[in-house]
Amino acid sequence: MTNPLFIEIEKFDQWAQSQYNIPQDDIGGEWECNYEQWNNIYTVFEDFLHETEPSHWSHKEKERLLYIIARDNEIGRLAATLPEQALIEYQRIAVLYALKEINSKQLDKYIRLAKQDGRRYLVENAIKIEGE
């Protein structure tokens, strides 16, 4: 992926790995706010949204988008700029991960519904969560 957005996401990821010696999910707190290049990410994220249609995003692109949106959890600017179609899909996937994290008894039901939905990325995430 040579799009400037994914280059910036990779820079963020490399920065995070260089700052902490533990997995990102174990760091805790608002560590992402220490990254000084968020404005670069915001700019290329908006460019990416204007240049592409969510229906044309690859699985890998969606995976990286979810990653950086999740890391922008304190400000929330990335999620706020998503087109409605992408935001709805992101929310559905987020529900699956949230149910998994809290060990909800509803997870199996929602995985089944996600698989029936038929949208490739939603189905792929449901299968991935189910296998974990």
Same domain for 42 and 96? no
- pLDDT of 126 above 80: yes
Instruction: Return the number of other C-beta atoms located less than 10 Å from residue 47's C-beta.
Output: 13
Closest by alpha carbon to 68, among 129, 118, 9, 5?
Answer: 9
- Per cent of the chain over pLDDT 70 is 97
Same domain for 124 and 78? no
What does the pLDDT look like over 76-86, one tens digit per residue?
Answer: 898 888 877 67
Helix, strand, coil percent content, the chain, rounded in steps of 5: 75, 0, 25
Same domain for 47 and 88? no
Same domain for 87 and 114? yes
The two structure tokens encoding residue 17: 């790995």
Same domain for 4 and 59? yes
Of 44, 65, 82, which residue sits at a domain end? 82
Give the global pTM.
0.68
2 SS3 class: coil
- pLDDT of 1 above 70: no
Q: How many domains does the chain have?
A: 2
Host domain of residue 42: 1-82
What does the pLDDT look like over 23-76, one tens digit per residue?
Answer: 877 777 788 999 999 999 999 999 999 998 887 888 889 889 988 988 888 888
DSSP 8-state symbol, 106:
T
- State residue 84's pLDDT score: 74
Same domain for 100 and 48? no
Same domain for 75 and 106? no
Same domain for 68 and 28? yes
pLDDT greater at residue 125 or residue 45 = 45
